[in-house]
Amino acid sequence: MSQPLLSIIILNWNTADLLENCLASIQNNVTLDAELIVVDNHSDDDSVQRVAARFPQVRLIVQSENMGFARGNNVGLAEANGRFLLLLNPDTEVCPGALESLVGFLETHPQAGIVGPTLWNPDGSLQPSTAPLPSLWVEFLRQTMLYRLFPTRAQQVAYRNELRQAAAITGAALCIRRECYEQIGPLDPHIFMFYEDTDWCKRAGDTGWQIWFVPCAGIMHIKAAASSRLARTRTLLASQRSVIYYFHKHHGRRAVRILRLITFCGAVTRSILALSNWFLGRKRTDQCARLRAYGRMAGWAILGKGL
């Protein structure tokens, strides 16, 4: 068999309806020579049955446990044969011509190792698909939510639908050249979820590959419907663990000590907001879940453990 041009890897966990719509959009709108790989991360809905029944062309890999985003995607990447490898969230729908634009750019720009497309919100507004690499300053702005008052340049340009080099591409739709993948290796398996795409982009940039945002017909990303919403406390803590791991890996112990102070400030700030929303009657169950997470973050910031 000849090598497919593109391998599309979709990691699924309990998003049967979204996954079905995603696969249908690929089936109806993608004209490339592409193979489809779905890795199911031990869903307890009917995702596997639906894929097997409706999309027999999909290579379906069913896991016996939830391996997280990085390890789950690595299973699909290891099975992929394409010249280019696309990580795609199940809560996305591909517009006609979007993936063709990504592959076309990679074919004409040999120094581009990773590219990302235009992402749209369901209401048609632009959704950022690029981000700055984490730094202590960026993390301080994020955790204290001061980025709303003092956005970085990278955050400002993220809302421009124009061709540009970027520091990091979101894993919701990230396409990597096989040569880049083989050089930098798979996603870091020590990261359960969040920041694995950022870590990948940093490793690619550190080895000389370019990272590009490619404006195109785009992909609709139903971000608010992602499976991570199913467990707010757990996902907030997973995100914080990934931040800690990222800073320790790329910036060392001294940066993590400063991160503890930043985390304490952020936990206090976000707890005040969550309490305000609770008193105003806004999604009280969600606010309680957030408060539990922020309390544990503050505990880690003070004690250096307990997260």
Inter-residue contact 197 to 171 (CB < 8 Å):
yes
Inter-residue contact 128 to 119 (CB < 8 Å):
yes
* Mutual angle of helices 232-251 and 284-303, in 10-degree steps: 30
Q: What are phi and psi of 217, to 5 degrees?
A: -55, -35
**pLDDT mean across residues, the chain:** 94
The mean pLDDT value for 157-177 works out to 94
Q: What is the pLDDT of residue 27?
A: 96
Q: Which residue has the higher pLDDT, 191 or 193?
A: 191
Q: What is the pLDDT of residue 113?
A: 98
Residue with tokens 């400063």, as numbered in its chain: 258
The mean pLDDT value for 148-158 works out to 81
| Domains of the chain as residue ranges with CATH | 6-225 (3.90.550.10), 231-303 (no CATH)
The mean pLDDT value for 234-238 works out to 91
* Secondary structure element (H or E) that encloses residue 92, with its range: strand 92-94
Closest alpha carbon to 32 in 85, 72, 78: 85
* Mutual angle of helices 196-206 and 68-79, in 10-degree steps: 60
Q: What is the pLDDT of residue 224?
A: 52
Phi-psi label, residue 87: left if phi above 0, alpha if psi -120 to 50, beta otherwise: beta
Name beta bridge partners: 112.
Answer: 210
Asked if residue 47 has pLDDT above 90, the reply is yes
pLDDT digits (tens, 9 = 90+) for 93-109: 999 999 999 999 999 99
Asked if residue 1 has pLDDT above 80, the reply is no
Q: What is the pLDDT of residue 225?
A: 46
User: Residue 65 corresponds to which amino acid?
Assistant: E
Asked if residue 227 has pLDDT above 70, the reply is no
Residue with tokens 């894929």, as numbered in its chain: 51
Asked if residue 276 has pLDDT above 70, the reply is yes
Residue 31 half-sphere exposure toward CB, CA atoms < 13 A: 6
Inter-residue contact 111 to 179 (CB < 8 Å):
no
